[in-house]
Structure 1
Amino acid sequence: MDGLRTVVLIAATLATGLMAGVFGIYAVAIMPGLRTTDDRTFIGAYQAIDRAIVNPLFLATFLGALILSIAAALLNLGGAGRSVLLWVAAAALLYLSAVVITFAVHLPLNDALKAAGAPAELADPAAVREAFAEARWVAWNIVRTVTSTAAFACLGWALVLWGRAQAAG
């Protein structure tokens, strides 16, 4: 059982760290870079990025971080896992907030931008970009960057505590 707890906790930490990095790169590079482009370029580039990110590896990591965090919490409900339970549960809740934000804010905005059509065929690309609510997208992305990074930190600390418990026991 301890081996399973260890593997799941490590996997949850890695997946959550990867997702914190994905959200972070949008915050520090992708969206600031796109912000400087004209409307048609913004729409076309964003549509291409959004189409590319919806792939099995991304989806497995995005959902896996949550599933693995919850599994790590459940596996640590008793016994030697008690020392890490609070940290793992906090991580699961923090990362859950990033998932909820993604479904509530980002996916509807992304889908609306994709549904607008090909940038070259848009009569009013400025209106399409404005409807995308870029500032709202960016602000909520910063929130999910912070929550997923905090979840990663909680899982990292849980790993330290788990290692100490294994060494002592």
Structure 2
Amino acid sequence: MHRRSALILSLSALLVLTGCATGAGDDAAAPTSEPTASPSVETSGVDAAAEQQAQAWLDAAVVPPGAVRVADSPASFNSYQGWPCRPVAELECYWTLADSTVAGAANWLRENPTADLVSTAGGSPWEEDPNLDGVLVGYIPADESQQGIVYTVSKAESGVAIRAEVAALSASATCPSLAPGEMWGKPGQG
């Protein structure tokens, strides 16, 4: 029990000290502030390499120009990414973007990949629609991977809120078995 408490305290201290940063896809998308990461679940059994990978992906996250980091969730997000494999290091960060639409911010995220990750968004760009209140944009390191970063763009009072959910698998991670013919959906596809 003491080891678990010590692990949680040291991870919390590490996150407070390192925080998370936004990378820029181009000069126009330079970050306006450095957001603070927060672990989103218990980190029991998570190895240091997974923690470092999750932080690296979060540090490489790019958000639309003008996005401002906020410490707490700025909106009511109606969906959350479920990471089925365990153990996994998870982090979250939030931003607000004034005078933007869900489609505008989501399309920007789709066109500006995070680090060396591959988009899971298929099809055409989202069309402007006043009834569009939320969109997921996912990025993974390889096809069929159950780790990476999922952005959720949601309507907010004066624009949109953006949440980044990041997950990196530990070396010992396993995924629950599925019935024949079933498969996991890609992160960010609902």
- The TM-score with structure 2 as length reference comes to 0.20
Which protein is richer in strand relative to its size? 2
Give the number of the structure whose residues are more often helix, by fraction. 1
Higher relative contact order (CA 8 A, sep 6+): 1
